[in-house]
Amino acid sequence: MQGNLSKQQGFTLIEVLIAATVLAVGLLALAGLQNQALKINHGTYLHSQAVILTQAIVAKIRANRLAGHNGDYNLSPAVAPIQANVDCSLATAVCDPQQLAQWDLWQWQQLLAQQLPQGVGEISVSSINTGLSGITDLDTVYQYRVSIYWNDRGEQRSIMVETQ
C-alpha cells in the first residue's frame, strides 16, 4: 500500500517570479510619481519666487514714488542689466530718487538672475489722468506693470502683475 502523496507546501518558483515582477512594476510606478511630484514642486517654488520678487519691486517703486512717476523704474528685458553708480545701501550714501531707482533695479536684476533660471524682468510705469477733480496731481493715477520671465526645465514661464 502506497502512502498518500504529501500536499505541496510553500510557493513554486513561477509564483515567486510573478510576485517579484508585480512588486517591481509597482515600485517603478511609485518612483515615476515621486519624480513627477518633484518636478511640480520645483516649478511651484520658482513661481513663488517670482511672486515674491514682483511684490518686492512694486513695494520699492511705491516707496520711491517720485522716481516711479518720472519713469525711472521702466525696464525692458532687452536692455542690458542696469549698473548702479552709487551703493544706496550704505548708511553714509546720499542718493537722489533716480539713483535709488537705479540701485533698486540693479539689486532686483541680481535677485532675478540668482533665484530664477534665466530670470529677467520688465517694468512699465504709466500715468492715467482721470479728470475727476480738475486738479492734475489729484487726477493722475499711476499704473505699475511688472513682468518676470524664466525658464523651467525648457519651458518659458512668466508672471505679470498690474497694480496702482
**Phi, psi values for residue 99, rounded to 5°:** -65, -40
What value does the mean pLDDT of the chain take?
A: 83
How many CA atoms lie less than 13 Å away from 58 in the CB half-sphere? 18
Q: What is the DSSP letter of 151?
A: E
Using CA of residue 72, residue 73, residue 79, residue 83, what is the dihedral sign? positive
Q: Is the pLDDT of residue 116 over 70?
A: yes
Name the residue with cell 511684490: 55
Q: What is the CA radius of gyration of the chain?
A: 30
Over residues 14-30, the mean pLDDT reads 90
Q: Is the pLDDT of residue 77 over 80?
A: no
**Which helix (H) or strand (E) is 73 found in, with range?**
none
Quickly list H helices, 64-162: 65-69, 97-115, 136-139
Cβ-contact 75, 101 below 8 angstroms: no
Q: Where along the chain do its domains lie?
A: 13-163
Res. 41 pLDDT band, cuts 50 70 90: confident
